Structures are given as structure tokens and as C-alpha cells.
Amino acid sequence: MDFRMTSFADNFLGYSFTLFDGVNWFYVRDEDAELIPLLSSPANAGDRFLIYGYVRRIQELEESIRQSRDLHAEFGPLAFKVARQIGRASKRFPTASRFAKNVFRSLGRGA
């Protein structure tokens, strides 16, 4: 018995059978018949396909990198000056420096 139902799909719904991958039956709309040769062989590891979720995450990370670079370009020189001044102040006021380090550590732990 043929479970593809090709005659039903071809005649009634306007679809043509394209591929059976061992689990699923694939059909193409008659309007898209030019796609049949492209869709007649199953996907495999050699196709170099990309999973959409991974592609989307890569795009998000690339955008984050771009934003970080923009921020660095805008604030990088200022941040360097502030860090240098903090370094100088910590040498002049070691007690205040230790206090500030402890405060920042506790903030980093969510305390």
C-alpha cells in the first residue's frame, strides 16, 4: 500500500511529491515546481547548513561586539584617564583604596 497519497496531493491539493527521508514525506506546491530538483535529495552533514537559532545568536553577539567597540571608541580614552587617576589616588590613600576594593567586591557578589 502506498502511503504517500501522491494522487490525492497531486490532483486535489495542487502539490507534487518530492522526497521521503525515511520519516517524513515532502511535497512542493505546483506553483513552486522549479524547487523540486533542489528539494529532491535529503539534507546531510555535507550541506554546510546552519541552524537558525545559532545564526541568530551569532548575529546578536556580533551586534554586541559592535556596540562594545563603539563604546570603547567613545569612552576608552576617558576610562584610561580615570583608571590612571584611581591608581594614583590608591597610592596616596591606601586605606581608602582597600575600602573601595571591598565595596566593589561586595557589589560584584550582589551583596
Which pLDDT tens digit goes with each residue over 37-87?
988 888 777 778 888 899 999 999 999 999 988 888 888 788 778 878 888
Distance CA 69, CA 82 (A): 19
Per-residue pLDDT at 61: 95
* pLDDT above 50 for 21: yes
Per-residue pLDDT at 1: 38
DSSP H/E element including 15: strand 15-20
How far lies 52's CA from each of 57, 87, 106, in Å?
9, 46, 40
